[in-house]
Amino acid sequence: MRRLAVAIGLGAVLAIAAAWTVVAVLAERDRAGAVAALQQENGNLALALEEHTARTLRSIDQVLQFARFEYLDHDGKIDLDEMAAAGLIDHGIVNVVLVADATGRIVATSRAVEGSSIAERELFSAHRDGGEDRLIVSRSSVGKLTGKPSMPLSRRISRPDGSFAGVAMASLNPDYFASYYRKVDLGAHGIVTLVGADGFARARRASGVSSSDEDMGGSTLLKAQRGAPTGNLLSTGRLDGVRRYMSYRTVADYGLVVAIGRSADEALAPVFERRRDSFAIAAAITLIVAAFAVVLIAGLARRERTRREAQRNEARFRATFDQARVGMAHVDLAGRFVKVNDALCAIAGHPRGELLGQHFAEFKFPEDRAAGERERERLLADGESRDFEVRYRHRGGGALWLAASVSLVRDPDGRPDYFVALIQDVTAARDAQERIRHQATHDLLTDLPNRALFLDRLGHAIRAARRRDGRAALLFLDLDRFKQVNDTLGHAAGDALLREVAQRLAGAVRASDTAARVGGDEFAVVLSELAAASDATLVAGKILRAMAPPMYFDGRELAITLSIGIAVFPVDGGDADALVRSADEAMFEAKHAGRNTFRVHSAAAPATLTQAA
């Protein structure tokens, strides 16, 4: 009996010890699993916020670079109000966009501001003295110019010779990020922050309160980020003392870090509740010596609660995925769509059933497929996020330009699992940019290259000729007695005559040459890859013959004649300015010789050589 009692007691002790051991191990696994799931969810949200932040900054940077281009292209004259009216400046995101000259004086704004100079601003000194062409994201503050919360973004304006010409600046409203962050449910004590490498927060929302410009220089977040650009950590907030599980990502090229955090107490409350249940079960096992049955019941209960929590997390993620305003997709490692949201279906014009299971290359033009496959292989090789614009086929058959941001997602063991793609339709913006670029380099009346593009093409032709030790030529053309047409028939007839001249001129030269309108009634032709200097006179003769047939305007016949001056590189000048001067002088010789002819200024041909129309 005693032995049986000892055996029962020993068995009870062993059973109780086994029960408590099992409970402790399962509780730790439960906690670790909850933490892993939390960090995964935080990481997905941090990735989405990083992409949103980077896209916002890129869009504003494009506005600044366009403003800089316009400022330089128009010799300091720029109308930002016109850009705002055209929709290039979104005042829902920025308070104001302005341009200051090399002295700091404000020369253009998209809205009225208080003050006339930014010379005393640290960002102005940084651009003036630094010389780097980069976007600077300064500390948030109440703007001296607008009187509103402001996160200044700025770029240096440099002249072609590299000298400092001024600063283009946008005042981003930090509340724009705060309003976006409010959409993310992180619990009562969650935190979303955008902090600069200088240690100061640009936008922050903690425990439901939005703020900016807090000093976070000694935070564990920035210490961790200096060691790795992305990661997870458990930290205690210096400002509110709340312990949080944090996930952060570095916003590349902008010196910013976006971080998502949930209160450890809130996030692990279900785990603590399950742990108390487990200890109660272990106590019951100790009292009633029913270790195995109770452990089984407790294990089943814990698994069920874990499953329900996973379902809730999946539902929250699916709601975020499906309701996102940008296109989102999960793509397997082979390149097939496994999950798409409604926004992507609307962009592509394909219902969900036509996308799922299909390889992304099936929706691209055949000539673009190889490049897309190379991007996929690079993502698999280096694992870094990539941003690019890609052309896709819309279901209706047209071309669709998409801005895609693709990241590789890894499983808990670090192995590649699938791709996440964020997609926006930028077809309209791309078309608008193409129209703006074309208008900036072409004459509005004739659609020929303007003086700026002409000088660029002339420079290219000279450099190409210099590399191959060859020749290039410049033909300078001036309409004979064009003022008489304007004076007698009016400017409408003059414009019609200029368009006809442009059309005939473009048809008389090779596609590899450049015909341009460089002034009111002045045209120019850049001839590249000449076999001999005499080829330029052949082209001049062809142009004169092309102008010989009369044109008609409003029932009246108009005769078109030109005086042409020819200069050949390198004998008439070693650079663009010298060739222009030589061609202009030769053109005036043709005028004095009676018009409707050409003259060659080159030492490669007799100065008296002429060709009548």
> pLDDT tens, 1-24?
678 878 898 988 998 988 888 888
Q: What is the pLDDT of residue 236?
A: 86
Q: Is 447 a catalytic residue?
A: no
pLDDT digits (tens, 9 = 90+) for 251-289: 877 888 989 999 888 888 888 888 888 888 989 988 998
Domains, the chain: 1-323 (3.30.450.20), 325-427 (3.30.450.20), 442-600 (3.30.70.270)
Element containing residue 70 per DSSP (H, E): helix 2-73
Q: How far apart are CA 145 and CA 203, in angstroms?
A: 20
Pairing verdict, β 471-479 and 562-569: antiparallel
Backbone torsion region of residue 533, taken as left when φ is above 0, otherwise alpha when ψ lies between -120 and 50, otherwise beta = alpha
Confirm if 271 and 203 have CB atoms less than 8 A apart.
no
**Pick the catalytic residue: 521, 535, 554, 584?**
521
Long-range contacts of 332-335 (CB under 8 A, 24+ apart): 332/418, 332/419, 333/380, 333/416, 333/417, 333/418, 333/419, 334/359, 335/359, 335/360, 335/361, 335/373, 335/376
Q: What would the 3-class secondary structure string for 445-480 be?
A: CCCCECHHHHHHHHHHHHHHHHHHCCEEEEEEEEEC
DSSP tag of 273:
H
Which residues does the chain have with pLDDT short of 70? 1, 143, 178, 180-183, 291-296, 299-301, 306-325, 360-361, 363, 365, 367-368, 371-372, 383-384, 388, 395-398, 427, 431, 602-613
Please name the amino acid found at residue 121. R
Q: How far apart are CA 88 and CA 432, in angstroms?
A: 10
Q: How far apart are CA 177 and CA 192, in angstroms?
A: 10
C-beta neighbour count of 222 within 10 angstroms: 18
Q: What is the pLDDT of residue 37?
A: 87
Pairing verdict, β 562-569 and 597-600: parallel
Pairing verdict, β 164-172 and 149-158: antiparallel
Q: What would the 3-class secondary structure string for 550-598 be?
A: CEEECCEEECCCEEEEEEEECCCCCCHHHHHHHHHHHHHHHHHCCCCEE
pTM strictly above 0.85: no
In the three-class reduction of DSSP (H, G, I as helix; E, B as strand; rest coil), residue 58 is classed as: helix
Confirm if 581 and 575 have CB atoms less than 8 A apart.
no
Long-range contacts of 288-293 (CB under 8 A, 24+ apart): 289/12, 289/15, 289/16, 291/15, 291/16, 291/18, 291/19, 292/15
Burial 306-315 (b: 16+ CB within 10 A, else e): beebeeeeee
